[in-house]
Amino acid sequence: MGAALAGLVRRQITLAPGSPLRGLAGAGGELWFVIAGSGQLDLGTLRGAALGANTGCWIPPGSEYRLDADDAILLDAVALPARPASPGATAAAGSEGPRVSELAACEVEQTGDRRFRVLLGPGRGCEAATQFVGEIPPGRAPEHSHPYDEVVLVLDGEGVAHTGDGDRALAPRTSVHLPRGLPHCLENTGQGTLTVLGVFHPGGSPAAKTAGTAELPR
């Protein structure tokens, strides 16, 4: 599925074993996350790089890529909006190379009772946007908002997204758009952990809030 949301375009891609995915990243680049499966990636200086489940990948703007599936792959890909056409932005974009990040190797950060791990972001291989996985325990956080545009994909668990547009049930593969400044909260209505994949633009910390909101990551 894919939808243009505040400049972010999310799509989910399935690859059968032995099938290749070839393409060219757009003007803003792409952030990938392998939900399931494994394969080999050719991207710039990366040749035959192994991608497995819970791996994030930064595809710089204009990069040509090829992903060959070793076994069935389910891939989440978020295309970023084009960067401003300024000399500084162009130089920054050109200096960034491809980056692969394993979730298990990322530091666990915590705000309140919620945990998150940043795979890619400013100072972590991608200056334009941030990709992270968050863990939400049962319960509901205070309503809050963020200073960035975000798309959230549920990886595991169940819950409800409470926003100004109404409530929406959450289940694995559900995707939610949270525009900059929109008051919201994600409630975990299950007994286990609600695990979500977030991508937001511009990049920063998942714990960042607009003035007057609680210090919680979701």
How much is the pTM?
0.88
Residues 117/132, Cβ–Cβ less than 8 Å: yes
Walking along the chain (218 residues) 10 residues at a time, the average pLDDT comes out as 61 95 96 98 95 98 97 97 63 68 96 92 96 96 89 97 90 93 93 96 82 40
Element (H, E) at 23: strand 20-24
> How far, in whole angstroms, is CA 142 from its chain's centroid?
23
State the residue for tokens 């076994």.
71
Residue-wise pLDDT for 190-200, tens only, equals 999 999 999 99
Domains within the chain, CATH numbers bracketed: 2-102 (2.60.120.10), 103-201 (2.60.120.10)
**CA angle in degrees (0–180, nearest 5) for 155-157-162:** 95
